[in-house]
Amino acid sequence: MPPGPGRPPGPGGQNAYPDAWGHDGFSGSGGAAGYGPGFAEEAGHDDGESDYHDGPAPSPGEGGGRKAKKTGKRPGKQAKRRGGAGKPPAPGAGRPKGAPGGKGPKLYFGAAAVLGLVVLLGLGAVFVLRGDDRPEAGGGGAAGTRIGTPAETGVSPASYSSSASSAAYSGIASRKADPDPLTIEEVFPSAAAKVAVPDGDVRVRLRAKRLDGDCADAVWGATVAEVLGEGGCTQAARGIYSDTRNGYGLAVAVFNLSTSAEADRFVAALEKTIGGGFVRPLEAPAPLDGFGRGFGMARGLAMGHFAVVTWAQRLDGKGDAEDETLLSLLIEGGENPAVLGRAARSAD
């Protein structure tokens, strides 16, 4: 497999050197240990925390419900509701084909009224069902997918940069060419249970993972959700890692959009919405319960019709843009095995 993306820039910039996968690189040298099959634990490295777990887990600030408690931040504009009601009945659909002989007009119009009521009740059911349905995890909706209402408030990293997709992902440039839905095991396999920093001691371990069929569950801010809905987002897979001995955390999110152009648009939009909308780190037990507070760096990569957003920070919230470990975690976390595997298979 080709080496992963290069190093991230400081806030607000990228250099001009593309990596082997065609993304703009980041300044500094880089290695690529990344996701890999199991790392033997060093003596004393076991922090005593349990490994990752599955299942629904609300994100920070959610408070058990869909919307997070307001913190005074100004929410983005309301997401547009998409999708329409069922098709109206054809002209005359509620009209009987013929009135039985010998029956008067009262019976004729009475039957028509009853049939019309049944049709209206049926249409009403369609309105209700369509107004509340959501794409299932693994669904293959098209652009303009209708998604739910995101949380109004949340946390954002101190800095963020993005890179558009490249020719290396041309084989998975659209969901039509790559229709199989993601699975949580594909995005976060056992081989990705740990992410290591090359030539360093930091190795973050997967603590929680989740796959949502409603992409609004994985973000906050109406504008961000609107971009995902217009981009046909049908799935959002998230995982969160930590190394409690060295004090680092990493959040990874993978979004399944309709085309590479929509993935480009989404990762670029996060540069404008930061502070007013972003990806929501998956909730996990302490010390990850404070993830997102303090200094953190994030990076968004469009990789074919997928968008991969990584977010790294120190567990104590300290640090700055010169922290080499944060930069390395962003790079290694962005080399998601599901996306890279699909790109490699499409090139065969």
274 in the same domain as 334: yes
Please report where in the chains the tokens 């409690």 appear, as a residue.
244
User: What integer pLDDT is reported at residue 248 of this predicted model?
Assistant: 98
Q: Compute and round to an integer the Cα radius of gyration of the chain.
A: 24
Q: Which residues contact 174 (CB under 8 A, 6 or more apart)?
A: 258, 259, 260, 304, 305
User: What integer pLDDT is reported at residue 54 of this predicted model?
Assistant: 52
For 36, other C-beta atoms within 10 Å of its C-beta total 16
237 in the same domain as 166: yes
Q: Is residue 57 part of a domain?
A: no
Q: Is residue 177 part of a domain?
A: yes
Query: What does pTM read for this prediction?
Result: 0.65
Taking only the tens place, the pLDDT of each residue in 126-143 is 333 333 333 434 444 455
Query: Is residue 209 scored above 80 in pLDDT?
Result: yes
181 in the same domain as 122: no
316 in the same domain as 184: yes
User: What integer pLDDT is reported at residue 284 of this predicted model?
Assistant: 94
User: What integer pLDDT is reported at residue 144 of this predicted model?
Assistant: 66
Taking only the tens place, the pLDDT of each residue in 299-347 is 999 999 999 999 999 999 999 999 999 999 999 999 999 999 999 999 9
The mean pLDDT value for 66-86 works out to 40
Query: Is residue 121 scored above 80 in pLDDT?
Result: no
Domain with 217 in it: 139-347
Query: Is residue 4 scored above 90 in pLDDT?
Result: no
159-163 and 296-303 beta bridge pairing: parallel
What is the phi/psi pair of residue 212, to 5°?
-110, 140
Separation in Å, CA 68 to CA 56, 77, 101, 236, 333 = 16, 16, 65, 19, 27
199 in the same domain as 91: no
Query: Is residue 153 scored above 60 in pLDDT?
Result: yes
147 in the same domain as 124: no
Closest CA to 329 of 31, 22, 23, 11: 31
Query: Is residue 24 scored above 60 in pLDDT?
Result: no
287 in the same domain as 147: yes
Phi-psi domain of 48 (left: phi exceeds 0; alpha: psi -120 through 50; beta: other)? left
